[in-house]
Amino acid sequence: MSKKIIKDELPENYEELKKAVNRTASWRARLDAVEELGRYNTSQVIDIMNTRLANDPVYKIQEEAYRILIDFGKDVQLPARKKFEIVKGANKVFLRVKKSLPKDHTFEEFATKLKRMRIDVYDAYEGERGLEWLENEWTNIVTNK
């Protein structure tokens, strides 16, 4: 699918897209906003893409920002995918959530509480690694602690 790039203007819904691209509770909303903004080659959009490229915890979003910046003719490098903690201190968050639940809690209870306590952590790991990975982490915490 080829995107039409419109230069030197911002979309009418720029402010809404700017908010969505920074929404830590929804990697999907960030990705959609990045894709839509990627049609507008302006300095504001380039700044947003550079920020997503450097700082987004979900690699799919970093990759899309990278592709857009390359399409805009920018000389950028795709960062290496994080191998361990994608959100600093996440393992402590997982442990804190686990300890706050009854001993015989389920993964679903764990995931629900994690979403309530730290939607940013839940969303980043769900987007980057998937729920199966998160369930494996939960299993390791339950069996090792």
Q: Is residue 77 part of a domain?
A: no
Q: What is the pLDDT of residue 84?
A: 79
Does residue 15 have a pLDDT over 80?
A: yes
C-alpha distances (whole Å) from 86 to each of 38, 59, 91, 103, 126 are: 24, 10, 10, 27, 11
User: Which secondary-structure segment (H or E) carries 6?
Assistant: strand 6-7
Q: Is residue 85 part of a domain?
A: no
Does residue 141 have a pLDDT over 50?
A: yes
Q: Is residue 79 part of a domain?
A: no
Q: Is residue 49 part of a domain?
A: yes
Q: Are residues 65 and 101 in the same domain?
A: no
Q: How many domains does the chain have?
A: 2
List, for residues 27-41, the tens digit of each pLDDT value: 999 999 999 999 999
List, for residues 60-92, the tens digit of each pLDDT value: 999 999 999 999 999 999 999 888 788 889 989
Q: How much is the pTM?
A: 0.81
**What is the span of the domain harbouring residue 138?**
90-144
Does residue 9 have a pLDDT over 60?
A: yes
Q: Is residue 1 part of a domain?
A: no
Q: Are residues 67 and 98 in the same domain?
A: no
Q: Are residues 12 and 66 in the same domain?
A: yes
Give the pLDDT band (50/70/90) at residue 144: low
Q: Is residue 43 part of a domain?
A: yes
